[in-house]
Amino acid sequence: MEMNAEEILRRLPHRYPFLLVDRILEMKEEEITGLKNVTLNEPFFQGHFPAHPVMPGVLIMEALAQTGGVLAFALRETDSQGVVYFMGMDKVRFRRPVRPGDQLILKLKLLRRKGPVFKMKGEAYVGDELAAEGELLATIEP
C-alpha cells in the first residue's frame, strides 16, 4: 500500500517545517517503508552547518519515528482519532552523513506491541548505505 503526502497528513499531526516523511512506498502487516527527499531548502540547513550542510541525526530519527507512527495508526484496533507520541530511542547509531540531494529510505519493522505502545526497529538508508538505525518506542493517545 502506497501513501502520498495528503494521506500522510490525514494520519500524522506534524506540519511544515516538521513533517519529515514525503511518501509511504510500502506498508505490509508489520513493516513500512517511507521516503524523505532531503533538499537544500530544509530550514535546518541554515544552521547545521552553513558551509557543510548535514541533516541532524535527531531529525533522521524523527523521520523514522513519523514513518513508524503511520504504521502504528494502521495497526491500532480502533478508528477513533489519536495522537502518536515518541517515547524513546535505544541502540541508535549514525553510520553516514545525510546531505542535500539525498533520498532517505525509512524502513521500520514492528518488534513488539503492548496495548497502545509500539516498539519498532528502524533503519534509514541513502541508496544501499545504512545512514542511521535504532529502536523506537511510541504510543497513541486519544
What are the tens digits of pLDDT across the range 55-78?
Answer: 999 999 999 999 999 999 999 876
Q: How many residues does the chain have?
A: 142
92-122 residue pLDDT tens? 999 999 999 999 999 999 999 999 999 999 9
pTM: 0.95
* Domains observed in the chain: 5-141 (3.10.129.10)
Q: What is the band of 79 on the pLDDT scale with cuts at 50, 70, 90?
A: low
Q: Cα 93 vs. chain centroid, distance in angstroms?
A: 15
Active-site choice (48, 96, 99, 113): 48
* Alpha-carbon gap, residue 59 to 44, rounded angstroms: 9
Antiparallel, parallel or unpaired: β 83-94 and 31-37? unpaired
Identify whether 52 is a catalytic site residue: no
**Nearest C-alpha neighbor of 138 from the set 91, 68, 86:** 86
Q: What is the band of 19 on the pLDDT scale with cuts at 50, 70, 90?
A: very high
Q: Tell me what the mean pLDDT of segment 17-29 comes to.
A: 96
- pLDDT the model gives residue 81: 75
How many CA atoms does the CB half-sphere of 27 hold within 13 Å?
Answer: 18
- Containing H/E element for 119? strand 117-126
Cβ pair 56, 62 in contact under 8 A:
no
